[in-house]
Structure 1
Amino acid sequence: MNSRKLTSETRRGFPATKAHSQQPSRIVIVDVTTPSWTSTCSVLSEALENTLCLACSLAGPCRIPLLSLYVVQNHQECLLPFMQVKENFARVQTCISELRSLPREGCFPRGGNGVVQAVQDGLQQFKQYSRHTAAGSSTNSSVEITILTSESGKEMVKQLEKKLKDVDLVSLRRLQIIEVLKRDLLEPEGAEQSVPAEEPGSDDIAILGMDIDVQTVEDSVISLEMLLKTWLHDYGTDREQLHLLLPSGGFGHATATKSSLMCLKCDLQERLLDPALVDGTRTADLSSSCQLASWPATALYRLRVVKALKAEGVCESVLYGLPFIIKPTSCWQLDWDELETNQHSFHALCYSLLKRNWMLLAKCEPQNTSPSWNIMVHSYYIIIPSDSATLLVKAVAVRELLLPSTFPALLAEHPETVCGPIESALNSLEVEVTYNPLHLKNNLYKYLKNVLRRPGQRQQAQPRDQRPERHPPKQHQSRAKATVAPLLMAPSPVQVFRAAAARRDSCEQSLLLGEEDEFLEALQ
């Protein structure tokens, strides 16, 4: 995946206002006028369905709180108005079915302002939704827009900058353009670096005051799925998540007091989803005395380095728990100089540990200085460097947890009658140089979709007061749809989406008179 920034970096993030509302709402705009839509349709639909079935199944706070989906044909069309993702998988599937059923290549003229209109329409809808859910809502006040197209990202940036000059972008956290290309059309790795991207002028920087991120991805399910799964990461940048404490360095390091410490400010990122979260057998509060908490990071951890270890002296059998990635913080509250110094120091630490072939042993310090208990249980971690400018952290066993075991010494020689069949069996195996988890799947997506399709799951998403079919809820079929309403579940999803096709020319209109009360009731 290639990525480049085509506008300024004058705004580095929209600060979250609440501890559990850091995830932005999301608008997906799919350009179906492009030549590659025929091949992109099926892979994009599958990638969306896989990612959203996972998001619907994860225990704890919702990682994709609100989602809206537009398609651009002759004009923009809202297939999915803003909707809470959790417990609404039936509506998600209906939207994806509609996406799959769209006409293929050559049915719509290319070009036009459909994408720009969809961006404007989505922002207007988000503004209306935010206004009506402001009281007592835990929804973040920022939105990210992802545009999927095979058109030139640079040309689309120019259109957006020109058309969005007078649009209120205060709620827009990021605008992302994804060029979905066939493998043979992708630029080779490193080619992009040899030809610098054209920088916009100062006027362009003043227009948006934010980043437009342009990426190119391969036209495949795995590539698009990995792109969409970035939505599951913790997007909180209102504070750093971990302080890595090292002995003070400098020229006087030999005489430095033990109380003098260097602090590297870092963020934690999950490497894997906790399988227990997917099974739904654990609650959102995963904090314990022996493990770092999973998403979201609700506490500031302090890891104090106590020793350096030779890498070859660490036995894998004493490491346990889920791995986490440590990276330099991107906290928006720190000034630029501190962020830059902190990042350089972090990279220097990674480089020095790799050069020495060292790992670090660190102790997790208590999160408060006045614990309610007289005795604190400490946890210890191994910090492992890599050449990707990140560190890997895993919990390490301590004396209290270790069970006794004896390991017999391996014999130097073995009888040929025993060794021969073993060697023959090993020789028949296919050998891979590196392990790639993308080559293995365990049918989790199929299992989750089957669970979410069960009648009990669908009923859970239905409104409590749903009436029999002979008394359907009021539908204003002849008027433009108030798409800001987060309908919990339509009585017949196929009927609603098909009937809405004639009403989706624009979602820019506000809530219609007489519908506002119904909308507020649906939120309660």
Structure 2
Amino acid sequence: MSGRNRSCASASQVCRASSFARQPPRVLIVDVSPPWWSETNSVLCEALDNFLSLASSLDGPSRVPLLSLYAVNAQQECLLPFVQVKGNLVRLHSCVVELRSLPVEGCVRPRPDVLRQAVLDSLLQYKHYTRHTAPGTAPSSGAVEVTVLSSQPGRAVLRQLEQGLKDSDLVGLRRLVVVHIAVEQNLPEQELSLEQCSSEGVAEPEEDLMLGAEMDLQQVENSVVDVENVLKAWLHDQAGEKEHLQLCLPAPAQTPVCIKCDLQERLVSPALLPGTPDLGAKTESIRDFQPHSKSSSNQSPAPQRLRVIKALKAEGVCQSVLYGLPLLIRPTTCWQIDWDEMERNQQTFHALCHTLRTRDLFLLVRCDPQFGSGCNVSSYYVLQASASLSLLLTPVLTRELMLPCHLPVSNEDPPLTTLTLVESCLDQLEEDPVFNPLCLGSNLYPHLRMRGLLSRPYGSNSRSQGRGQRRDTNHPPEGSTSRQLQQRRARATVAPLPSVPPPKPARPPLTLSRPCPRAPSLRLIDGDDDDDDENAACS
């Protein structure tokens, strides 16, 4: 299969057809008022440009169906009406260029109600968009999510919006998020503080104002990574009407124990990015790992070079940042290498595996693109030493593909009653010291047989074809005798003489000065007589 077809196949496995069906349209309101815009201009525009380049290039269902962008200063300005994000990078990039060109200096003070007017105008704009759009093309989620990026103190901005929107019609507003980009300013002491400047004229109510839409306040640092994470949160599945899965535990006393859970992606799969085979998303075989060479067909491609750039503590590597199918790396047995060189190579490989296992280390390696490949994207892998004489090569994600993940860490013990219930459920499970995948059956063979039988032609054509084959076998063709037919069959069964000299005999296996420990057997050992039949079947 070609790389493009395989990418599409992998994308269909990563994203289900029903996923991301409830993604809301997005409105981004950027506060470009001085003096803070001079500090956040380059950071915000770079983060927005990076995010739009990624979101518009993803295959599969659209995760950000529509986007509109406003710039707010002394007045509001719609830089981008609602447009589709997927496949529309040219239009989105021109909007970022226009945002970057806005003046960074000035003494114009923003009006208190300009943010309110931008929010209401975006809701009205989306209403007009859905009214003039063909049925079925608008997002299934009929509510808009508005995000305000500002360097003014977030609480003052949030109170300002609460006061201004409390009497407005917010039926089309799903969620309002105020993101405070923290900027360090060295203002003169005689000037008012940022909190006083932003909150002047805004009355602090005694209690929170309850709006029909959800309101949220976030604070991030003035860095490209932090602003990117705010935008990349849009790529998560926003459907929250039902839990994603149910984890069922064995009932301790005929009481069902079912834990409802949600799924969240840790990374954007490189399989969803077309035209980037060097990212390391496909590691099913050695052909997927080696890049295509432009050399002639009679020459073998040059070997790929992995450059070790860092040693990692094994306990410090999170499994959620690893993806794809791993590959096994072992010492080469190429017959064109000199015998002494091969022996030294195998001893060095053995010493590397032994050292990594002894020190409990992983290796971070980088796969640089080959010269003339036309792609300057580098991929990274983690090398892990196994008990046998081999290394495990696993792709690791980079910053561009990482999605925000903020999971709480609890330092308190769970309630005693709940802890007792879960422990009693787990006590009913059988423990295996060694995992044996030979005892796992997925019903794959019957499924493949059923698909194969259903795909075969059934009817008169297949029966006539079978009869025709039997008739040709029993009766020789017209004009040929039985003797000629036997001679033809005899000539067909004679193997042709080899046209090239026979290959060199295989070398005897190498012996190391120190024997390698044997890998643990996958055979399960159970002393119970009741499980003898089951273990025999699994073997």
Could you tell me the TM-score, scaled by structure 1's length? Answer: 0.47
Asked which structure has the greater CA Rg, the reply is 2
Of structures 1 and 2, the one scoring higher in RCO (CA 8 A, sep 6+) is 1
Normalising by the residue count of structure 2, what TM-score does the alignment of the two structures yield? 0.46
